[in-house]
Amino acid sequence: MKSRRIGPLTVSALGLGCMNLSHAYGTPPSPEQAERVLRRAVELGVTLFDTAVLYGFGANEELVGRVLAPHRSRIALASKCGLHGVDGKRVIDGRPATLKANCEDTLRRLRTDVIDLYYLHRWDKTVPIEESVGALADLVREGKVRALGLSEVSAATLRRAHAVHPVSALQNEYSLWTRNPEIAALDACRELGVSLVAFSPLARAYLTGTLRDVSALEPKDLRRAMPRFQPETYARNLRLIDTVQQIARDAGCTAAQLALAWLLAQDERIVPIPGTTRVEHLEENVAAADLALDADILRRVDAAVNRHTVVGARYADATLAEIDTEEFRS
């Protein structure tokens, strides 16, 4: 596996987003299946594993900690604080005391004495970003965290946070169908020496070409609340996938591999973290790290799926109000 840098860390060019092993897309896989995915990722050379206190309200951190403990010296563990469960409901809380309590819980669940990369999962807009980042900086000084990150924030907020303590990673959604980081975040990352960790790089399965019928999604699948996955809207977006799959065939790869290779080609500071519940999809994704796409293939897929061709907002209005990322004007 090729490697990339995130602050002081050297990690695999593709990480593994662990969320859907416990959370978000309906019924999670069995513990045995989740363990197989995690162990196979280690075998394939993946060294960045991304979780959060929110995922399964702690269950995902416990899973990752238990399965990966024997491999701790070979991997980088990333987790997130400031968005957690209280009485079964998700709560955004960026107060310093809460973030430090989240960290203690995460250290215990991950079975480690230090978190390699620790993110503020959401900026609590009732708390100045400087205060939240100041608390995370304390954790670095105490030796409980190696590097700091932010998730779903704008370039302006990133700069404010970076002035308090160096930020190593910005984790925002970035893929062919979500180009928001191209507004300002990518430029800010280059300016400040921050890596962009791209979550949902396969557009929550859209870019794999395998999700054809959104009406079959489980009732608790979070995509059911997303505008782009509403049946009429998704049907319009689905028309683009045939083109993507043809370009992938021309490139000698799958649609998922094409989407990941496109993302890796955008900048050396980008580290995608696709998630999956299946070993065969994991193996398919990891192989994308070795793809070298020619300029014509990159141009064609970029032209096929972009902010002008994709229909619908990525989040519902209530969720958009919670985050701080730049949005394209309609």
**57-203-183-82 Cα dihedral, nearest 10 degrees:** 0
Mean pLDDT of the chain: 97
The active-site residue out of 55, 119, 234, 315 is 55
Residue 81 pLDDT class (50, 70, 90 cuts): very high
Q: What would the pLDDT profile of 152-173 be if each residue is shown by its tens digit?
A: 999 999 999 999 999 999 999 9
- 55 classed as catalytic: yes
Q: Which residues contact 133 (CB under 8 A, 6 or more apart)?
A: 120, 148, 150, 161, 164, 165, 167
8 A C-beta contact, residue 121 and residue 103: no
Q: Which residues contact 124 (CB under 8 A, 6 or more apart)?
A: 82, 92, 93, 94, 95, 132
Mean pLDDT across the stretch 258-287?
Answer: 98
Each residue of 34-78: pLDDT tens digit? 999 999 999 999 999 999 999 999 999 999 999 999 999 999 999
Q: How far apart are CA 206 and CA 238, in angstroms?
A: 8
pTM tops 0.95, yes or no: yes
Whole-number pLDDT of residue 329? 81
More confident site: 85 or 150: 150
Token code pair at residue 134: 């100041």
pLDDT tens per residue across span 125-149: 999 999 999 999 999 999 999 999 9
| pLDDT band (50, 70, 90) for residue 88 | confident
Q: Provide the 10 A C-beta neighbour count for residue 55.
A: 28
Question: Is the pLDDT assigned to residue 330 strictly greater than 70?
Answer: no
Q: Domains in the chain, start-ordered, CATH in brackets?
A: 3-204+266-291 (3.20.20.100)
Average pLDDT of the residues in 249-253: 98
How would residue 250 be classed by pLDDT, with cut points 50, 70 and 90? very high
CB 219 within 8 A of CB 234: no
Quote the Cα angle for 84-90-93, to 5°.
55
- Would you say 15 and 197 are in contact if contact means Cβ atoms under 8 Å apart? yes
Kindly indicate the confidence band of residue 87, based on its pLDDT and cuts at 50, 70 and 90: confident
Q: Which residues pair with 151 in a beta bridge?
A: 171
202-223 residue pLDDT tens: 999 999 999 999 999 999 999 9
User: In percent, how much of the chain has pLDDT > 90?
Assistant: 97
Angle of helix 295-304 relative to helix 241-251, nearest 10 degrees?
170
